[in-house]
Structure 1
Amino acid sequence: MRLVRHRKINTWPLLLCGMVLTYPAYAEDKGLVENFTGFKVNETPFMQSLGVKFGGWVDIGFAGNPHGPKNSSNAPVTFNDGANHFNLHQVYGFIEKEVNVGGKEWDVGFRADLLYGRDARFTFATNFDRTILGDDPKHQLVFPQLYASVYAPYGNGITATIGHFYTIMGYESVPSPNNFFFSHAYTMQYGEPFTHTGALLSYPVNENITIQGGVVTGWDAFFRQPANFLGGVSYTTDDERTALSATLITGSVETGGLNNDHNRTLYSIVLEHDITERLHYVLQHDHGIEQKTSASHSASWYGINQYLIYDIAANLGAGLRFEWFHDKDGARVLADGRKEHFIAITGGLNYKPIAGLTLRPEVRYDLATENNTVYRDGRKGDQVLLSISAIFHF
Structure 2
Amino acid sequence: MRLKSRLRPAQAACVVLLFACSFSGVWMQCSAQTKEISGISPGNASADANGSEVEISEMPLNSPPFPASDWSYGGSPAIGAPDGDSCPLLKQLGVQEGRSHIYGWFAMGVDATTSGKSTYPVSYSIYANRLELNQAVLNFERIPDTVQSNKFDWGYHVMALYGTDYRFTTSEGYFSQQLYQKNRQYGFDPMLAYVDLYLPMKKGMNIRIGRFMSMPGIESQPSANNYSMTHSLAYTAAPSTETGAVASMKLTKQWIVQLGITAGHDVAPWTEDARASALACLDYSTYSHRDNMYLCASGINDGRYGHDNVQHYDATWYHRFNTKWHIASEAWYMYQLDVPNVAGNVANPVPTKIGANGAYCANGQLTCTAPAYALVSYINRQISPKLFAGFRFDILNDKRGQRTGIPGKYTENTIYITQYLSSTLMLRPELRFDHSWDGRGYDNGTARNQFFFGVDLIYKF
TM-based fold match above 0.5: yes
**Distance 1:262-1:43 versus aligned 2 partners, 3 A rule:** closer
**Alpha-carbon distance, 1:136 to partner:** 2.0
Q: Which residue of 1 aligns with 2:246?
A: 200
Distance 2:256 2:444 in 1: 46
CA shift digits 1:29-75 (9 cap, x unpaired): 888xxxxxxx55269884435x311111100001211x251x3x112
**Alpha-carbon distance, 1:237 to partner:** 1.4
Q: Which residue of 2 aligns with 1:232?
A: 281
Q: Which residue of 2 aligns with 1:35?
A: none
1:1-394 equivalences under 5 Å are 3-4=65-66, 5-7=68-70, 13-17=76-80, 39-41=88-90, 46-49=95-98, 51-65=99-113, 67=114, 69=116, 71=117, 73-101=118-146, 102-131=148-177, 135-190=182-237, 192-223=238-269, 224=271, 225-249=274-298, 250-252=300-302, 255=305, 264-293=310-339, 295=350, 296-335=367-406, 339-371=407-439, 373-394=440-461
**Alpha-carbon distance, 1:210 to partner:** 0.6
Q: Is the 8 A contact 1:76 1:334 kept in 2?
A: no
Deviates more, 1:52-61 or 1:99-108: 99-108
Q: Is the 8 A contact 1:10 1:166 kept in 2?
A: no
- What TM-score results when the alignment is normalised by the length of structure 1? 0.86
The structure that has the greater radius of gyration is 2
Distance 1:388 1:131 in 2: 30
CA shift digits 1:238-283 (9 cap, x unpaired): 2211111111111146756xxxx99741111111011121011111
CA shift digits 1:120-169 (9 cap, x unpaired): 11111111221369722211101111001111223333210001111111
**Distance 1:10-1:205 versus aligned 2 partners, 3 A rule:** closer
Q: Is the 8 A contact 1:60 1:89 kept in 2?
A: yes
**Distance 1:352-1:185 versus aligned 2 partners, 3 A rule:** same
**Alpha-carbon distance, 1:204 to partner:** 0.2
The DSSP-based 3-state class of the residue aligned with 1:168 is: coil
Count of matched residue positions in the alignment of Structure 1 and Structure 2: 365
Q: Counterpart of 1:56 in structure 2: which amino acid?
A: G
Q: Counterpart of 2:396 in structure 1: which amino acid?
A: F
**Alpha-carbon distance, 1:8 to partner:** 6.9
Gaps of 5+ in 2: 1-62, 341-349, 351-366
Q: Counterpart of 1:331 in structure 2: which amino acid?
A: Q
Distance 2:172 2:218 in 1: 23
The DSSP-based 3-state class of the residue aligned with 2:191 is: strand
**Distance 1:226-1:7 versus aligned 2 partners, 3 A rule:** farther
**Distance 1:47-1:123 versus aligned 2 partners, 3 A rule:** farther
**Distance 1:221-1:343 versus aligned 2 partners, 3 A rule:** same
Distance 2:337 2:186 in 1: 34
Q: Which residue of 2 aligns with 1:23?
A: none
The DSSP-based 3-state class of the residue aligned with 2:235 is: helix
**Alpha-carbon distance, 1:333 to partner:** 0.9
Q: Which residue of 1 aligns with 2:49?
A: none
Q: Counterpart of 1:141 in structure 2: which amino acid?
A: F
Q: Is the 8 A contact 2:65 2:418 kept in 1?
A: no
Q: Counterpart of 1:230 in structure 2: which amino acid?
A: L
Q: Counterpart of 1:15 in structure 2: which amino acid?
A: A
Distance 1:263 1:313 in 2: 43
The DSSP-based 3-state class of the residue aligned with 2:236 is: helix
Q: Counterpart of 1:16 in structure 2: which amino acid?
A: I
Q: Is the 8 A contact 2:303 2:336 kept in 1?
A: no
Distance 1:212 1:166 in 2: 14
**Distance 1:12-1:284 versus aligned 2 partners, 3 A rule:** closer
Distance 2:241 2:378 in 1: 23
The DSSP-based 3-state class of the residue aligned with 1:359 is: strand
Distance 1:298 1:206 in 2: 40
**Distance 1:8-1:325 versus aligned 2 partners, 3 A rule:** farther
Distance 1:14 1:269 in 2: 20
Distance 1:128 1:280 in 2: 37
Q: Is the 8 A contact 1:262 1:291 kept in 2?
A: no
Q: Which structure carries more strand by proportion? A: 1
Q: Which residue of 2 aligns with 1:21?
A: none
**Distance 1:16-1:262 versus aligned 2 partners, 3 A rule:** closer
Deviates more, 1:118-127 or 1:73-82: 73-82
**Alpha-carbon distance, 1:316 to partner:** 0.7
**Alpha-carbon distance, 1:334 to partner:** 2.0
Q: Is the 8 A contact 1:287 1:300 kept in 2?
A: yes
Q: Is the 8 A contact 2:303 2:335 kept in 1?
A: no
**Distance 1:68-1:343 versus aligned 2 partners, 3 A rule:** closer
Distance 1:220 1:174 in 2: 13
Q: Which residue of 2 aligns with 1:34?
A: none
